Structure 1
Amino acid sequence: MMTNLSMNKNRFATKVVVVILIVSLIPTIFNSVFFYVSSSNIIKENVRESSLQTARQAADSLSYVLTTGSDMADLIYSNERLQEVVKQDLNEELPEAERQENHETMHSFLNENIFSSSFVRMIYVLKEEGSSWGSGNFSWFKFSQYNLQELDWQKKTTELDGELLWQGLQFDRFSGAGENTDLVLPITRVMKDFDNLNNIAYIQVFLDGNAVLDRINQIKLGKTGHFFVVDQQGNIMIHSDMEKIDQTISNEQLYHRVINRDELEFEFDDNGRYYYGVKQPLANGWTIVGIVPIQEITGQLLTIQTIVVLTSIVFGILAMMIGYFFANRVTDPIKVLTRQMKLVGEGDFNVRTNVRTSDEIGVMSMEFNRMLEKVEHLMDQVKIEQVQKKEAELRAVKHRINPHFLFNTLSTIRWLVKFNQVDRANTALAALTKLLEANMGKKGTFVTVKEELDIIEKFIDIMQIRYEQTFHLKLDIDQKVNDFFIPQMLLQPIVENAIFHGIVPTGMEGMIQISGRKIDDKVEIVIQDNGKGMDEETLNQIQHALRPMNKSVGIGLLHIFDSINLYFGPDSAIEIESSEKGTIVKLIMKPKNRGENHV
């Protein structure tokens, strides 16, 4: 029983559970319950009522401004003296003095009324023919540049037949001498002849757009919340961002809550960010809408948050004091074991852990050391087996190359003897003897580059006799490269392919150039011929076949490729280029270890 109790105390899981329980469980439960209950009550009882009150203030303030504009339009509409001035303007028989008096009456009336209200910016009385009048900086020249019937508001105003047409914020196009700089909120209606109710002019009252925006911006909703105004169709009419004017509300949730629902407060989602919104109707039928991120509204919970933070700090300090002792005992062995595992992951199999605890970490450490020993032993075995397997494959390839070449050479010698060409037969036999000596392994697996080139010279002698063509061999080999050790028959298959596939089909004398250079820690040997070369498709097939794990290439090139991969470092490579002028094969060989291959 005492043994089981001791094991339970030393269990890693027991230590973790104790630390988590003390450090996290108690303060987490307390903070969650207290914060949830308190914040919910405050949001429901205080924040929403405050936001609605703010929205009502914004609506009352803006409605006052809009009512000022509509009253001004009614005043001009109902003024019979102004109607007479408009009707008499087209009377060509009207004396010039009386006409001038009419103009002064109209200008005086319009200018006096814009000064009577701080929110009315401009007043225009516009006609399609004859004179048009405007207060302040009205520019007859600018007005004359437009066809009144083509303006977007003209048709709508005519259809309303005396009712007010409200438009969104815009810049006044008819005032001043330069660019349009006056931001206005237009109110438009037709002026009628009360005698026959015919339309005789258009009345435009422009509210000061900057004053309207100031009224809205003075009322705050959170820190970044803002108000804007929409019409009955959900088009934005007043907004601090002019690019959004006359645009329909883009957020679908917000649109439906503003247009299709009666509630004065709502919530909606905008690309994953949640907003709280309020709305209020305006005097002209529009709606003022205020939105603010819900996160900002919770700023009123500062007192609760302060209590939560202070409580968390107290519990946190207590938890750290208790957990620090347990954490060190639990995590230190894990850190040691983790560092050792990272070193193994980087390829260092000589590391060993020295954790000596009695819990699961200690057991894991011992098993980790045992595993590394087994892995290291298995890797050594695999390396030896792979090298032996590859060497066996290379020997098999060489044995496949030799009989084919030997058969063709002996057949050639037989025909030379038959036709009494004894000298040529002796030359061929001498060269064949040299080649057989190398291939029968009398010099082991490796030969120097110089020895391989001696064999190639004999091989070319045989090829000249066999194909009755002249093949010149040009050598340009550094002395250090001459002494570099390479596998047997590494260069001979390349020369044979150059002769058989490149030069022989041309029927002409051939030139084979072999150069060798030492470049940094690599040796580069280049074999170049002047044969007919390869077409692009054949070259692509060979280059593809020389990639790792692809064994579709012929046995000669396969022998070269496997020799490079087995006996030289990972930066070694075979590069092949070919054109109509011949083929170039480049062997790049890097010894696996410094000093290897005696270069």
Structure 2
Amino acid sequence: MIRRRKNDSVKSKFLPFGMKLFISYLILIIIPIFIFGYIANTILVDSYRKQMNNNLAGTLQQIQDNIMYKLEDTQRITDLLYFDEKLPIQLQSYEEGWVNYQITKDYLLPKFRQVLDSTNRETWLTVFLVDEKFPEIYNVFNNVDPLKIKGRFFDVRYVRSIENKQWYRNFPEEDYSKTMQWRQIEDDAEYGRISLLRRLVDTKKPTNLKTVGFMRVSVYLSDIFQSVDYNKMGTGSVLLITGADNRVLYASGKNSPMYGSNWDKINVKDHAVISKQLQTEEWKLSALVPNTIIERETRKINILTLVICFMSFIVISIVAFGVSRFFSTRVSKVVSVLRLFQQGDFHKRVHYRGKDEFSMIATSLNKLGEQTEHLIEEVYVTKLKKKEAELEILQAQINPHFLYNTLSSISRLAKFGEVDKQHQMVMNLAKFYRLSLNEGQSIISIYKELEQVQAYIDIQQVKYGDRMNVQFDVDSDIVSFMTVKLILQPFIENVLEHAWCGDRIHIRVTGRMTEDCIIFQVMDDGNGMSSDMVNILSDPHMEANRGYGTRNVNDRLQLHYGKDYGVTLHSLLGIGTTVTIRIPKHRRQTPKSREMK
């Protein structure tokens, strides 16, 4: 008996446990919250910027696609003339007078009108002819935009009317089907138009293309760049189309630069600039997005992050105070109770440094340790022996049930005089029991469990022949793990006893390994079961004469591994049944390790 010393009643001065817990809670939780808040805020801002850039790039891509569609649609108009093999022949007539008049009246004019009628856009087509035997047909508008008057029309002129023009003399040499230019010529810039320029050639001699004419198709820039709308990019944004000389061809935006301005002189300060090169022309589509748009959204994210961190600080501080007060109160009660045991005959085994409540708890618990350890050991050994006895009883129940069914089958074979099948089944039965006994071990490797299943299938194959088909799909990685034996055979037996739907049955056995367990499935295409029957068979309090095999396997697995493992059923009438067996990933253990477990 340990006597109480006088100084035991004197309370040592130390920082209370509750205060320590509260301070530790704040240091370990609150500081990381603000660190994570800063990291999360940085990630969110970067993510928003990336998302916004992606959205802007996507919008520019849509605008680019619309522009390319308009350009290609205009090119299609010229293709109708360029690739018309008959047109060069007609334009090289060697007769004058009535013949050329008829060609012009009956072929050229309807052809040009047909080309213009293929589009509903305002388009001005001018065809310049090399052969001057054909008459010129053109309109005079007297400094008025012709597209505003007629909308869609064509002119026929001679090439000599443009052969001294600088833009015509600089036109590149012909590369069949590729040579064309988008340029602003003549009065295009004045009226906000742009023209597609292209030759008409005779392709009889591909190595020596002969020019028979020249085409100019004029359309409005506002038509080509109709989709270039700054509203798609946000308030205050500007969209620009610049040409090969870096001059502005088209602009959209309240503060957009004037037409013809040089890109290098445009003030892009305080703007995010995103550009895309158009595919077929030397034009560039650029978006100028004010930084204030991005800053406004990032400011919202910053404020939201601060609010969340501050609210978290308030909530966690309240929780920390409550938790520390809760535990400090209970620790104080435990200490006051443990002081009553200081006069008992207990031996110290744990040493705790410090002058606080935990030193008292450690001293008292060490004194109680020797007595409680002995009691716990006795209870544990008793429960372990009970558990092993229950496992042996359940294991003993499954074998007679299977043996009865197999002997019944052998009896029927003997009755009908099928001696060879009877002999084969007896030999297979002997092999099955040789594998099942396994020197009295109830825990075997999955490899041996599959051998037992195959032995059982060999027995039933003698009985059913080609009427039954069993397919295995088992990962090779799981065969070295351990399992309670006879967890697959009862379900294959159930299929052959109860699941026939017609004269054939197909069974598939799969084995897969997940992160924390091994899952077997036994699937059949038999008659299936109703949901009520599945619920009955899955009920641990089911009748003894129903679902015997399912209950036996499930009980053995849960008794050995716990409630997290066992058997589940899924079935549909007329479709079939799937049995799922879940076991832990256990490798072979030594007797010592099993005892420690």
Larger radius of gyration: 1
Note whether the superposition's TM-score is higher than 0.5. Answer: no
* TM-score normalised per structure 1: 0.37
